[in-house]
Amino acid sequence: MSAASQNPTDTVPPGDSGPAPVRPVRRAHRSLALALLAGAAGAGLTLLASGRTWAEGSAVLAQGELPRSVTGADVTGVPGALAVVGLAALVAVFAVRRAGRIAVAALLTLSGVGIAVAAVLGNSDTSALREKAATAVGLTGTDVHHVTHTGWPWVAAAGGLLLLVAGLLALVYGRHWPAMSGRYERTPGGARGPRRAPAAPDLDRPEEIWKSLDRGEDPTR
């Protein structure tokens, strides 16, 4: 039998899996890019929405009505605070490994859940609006009328969902993501990582020779 008539599969070494390992790498890169995009966008949307008007109303006075409005930060500070926590967790994912990465990814996921829940509950909350109306009027228990709610709480909730997606991606694919270089990490014995060897002394300069002798080195090596 000639070499040309041999089965092509006979030339494949046993156990060779071909290009299959490339697929997990591509999935890891795609999930990493998607998590970074979703996490950054989610935190940005939440922080933006927290500074916008969430509700408007009017406090009744003897002279008429006094319009009042409250921002998301007035209603609840939870979304803004968790957005900062989620953004920090997104960055910290790359600074830790193994169990630490799982813990940070879980924190990122919980931050997204907390933002979404707080934003939905804050959408119907009028306590901050009544408090601001009472401060303006100078009477406790002042009621507000013609209360309207804007769409910014839902924008904050959407930001929380994006952070949730980023956290879930980190939990599922995070073990395949790269980590910060451990070049400068301490070794288990407490010593630092590899250091550059000292430059050889210049034998034409006497002061360099004396410095080498002071360090206990042999300048002639």
Per residue in 138-195, pLDDT (tens digit) is 666 567 778 888 999 999 999 999 999 999 999 998 888 887 654 444 444 444 555 5
The dihedral region occupied by 13, where left means phi > 0, alpha psi between -120 and 50, and beta the remainder, is beta
Residue 77, pLDDT > 80, answer yes
Contact 134/127 with Cβ under 8 angstroms?
no
Q: Where are the alpha helices (DSSP H) in 124-176?
A: 127-137, 152-173
With a CB cutoff of 8 Å and minimum separation 6, the contacts of 27 are: 173, 176
Q: What is the pTM of this model?
A: 0.68
Residue 124, pLDDT > 90, answer no
More confident residue, 202 or 104: 104
What dihedral angle (degrees, nearest 10) is formed by the CA atoms of 88, 93, 94, 98? 150
Q: What is the mean pLDDT of residues 200-214?
A: 60
- Whole-number Å distance between alpha carbons of 175 and 173: 6
